[in-house]
Amino acid sequence: MAIFKGAAVAIVTPMHEDGKVNYEKLEELLEYQIANSTDAIVICGTTGESSTLTHGEHLQTIKFAIDKVAGRVPVIAGTGSNCTETAVMMSQEAASYGADALLIVTPYYNKASQKGLIRHYTEIANSVPETPIIMYNVPSRTGCNIQPATAVALARNVKNIVGIKAASGDLSQIAKMMSMSDGALELYSGNDDQVLPILSLGGLGVISVLSNVAPKNTHDMVMKFMEGDLAGAAKLQLEAISLINALFCEVNPIPVKTALNLMGWKVGPTRMPLCEMEPENEERLKKALVDYGIKLA
């Protein structure tokens, strides 16, 4: 049984102006997402600024989301690290809170060989044997690429490694992986501009930045595809392209947090070394939001 089908939001972590996590605002965002048909919550992923949260903040934010969502949709916790021991600790804690699944990014900075990736993921998975794991392949950010044979071997040989968030941008690699997997791997798009191409290769949905500002449309895009309304799904994908491009015109999550603030959500700043957008890029983002039909505050 798939962890989810549809659109999962890679939700931002709202901050107070002093940089502390704003849990009241996070609760508002969670309720907004659930009310607007989001199919799952991914907490403390890249968009949630996991790399600059302390371990304590990271775990508290995961627990808060699980408690507030209270089983209404799956909560997938980002617990990856470039240190296997740290990833094991974070994963065990999140599992103990009741996370429905874990999202584990490839080791970054120190990177790893394919053999090292197999050992890394296997050790994490074996530490939480009852919790499903989605591997997260985003080589543009980590410098480390899960090759198709590696992903398939992990899915076949480790019972709770069940899926992959594919954010390589390489559709040929993704197609090769899915042809090798023979149904052993649940595929989720990690790129909002490639949702339909990845669905056409056997994907089950998207883990989405766009869903932060347009949850219903992102959900509908996937559902229309699943229901056979390919023209309707394509229309939603193409209508969103300019906004998606604006949401990635600077490093994520700078633009999406800016967008939410422009919409009146008051999610606060990003943490350094991330900083405010360049003025010309913010103007581009404003135009893309308005053109898409989103009202600004």
Residues designated as active site: 136, 165
What's the Cα-to-Cα distance from 289 to each of 7, 249, 264, 280, rounded to whole Å?
A: 20, 13, 13, 14
In this structure, the chain runs to a length of: 297
Q: In sequence order, what are the residues at sequence separation of 6 or more whose Cβ sits closer than 8 angstroms to the Cβ of residue 61?
A: 13, 21, 23, 26, 43, 44, 48, 53
Q: Is the peptide bond prior to 215 cis by the omega test (within 30 degrees of 0)?
A: no
Enter the tokens of residue 146: 């899960």
Which amino acid makes up residue 115? K
Task: Give which of 147, 42, 128, 137 is closest to 90, Cα–Cα.
Answer: 128
Structure tokens at 8: 């999962």
The answer to whether 103 and 78 are in contact (CB under 8 A) is yes
Q: Is-contact 101 132, C-beta < 8 A?
A: yes
∠ CA 99-103-109, nearest 5°, is 140
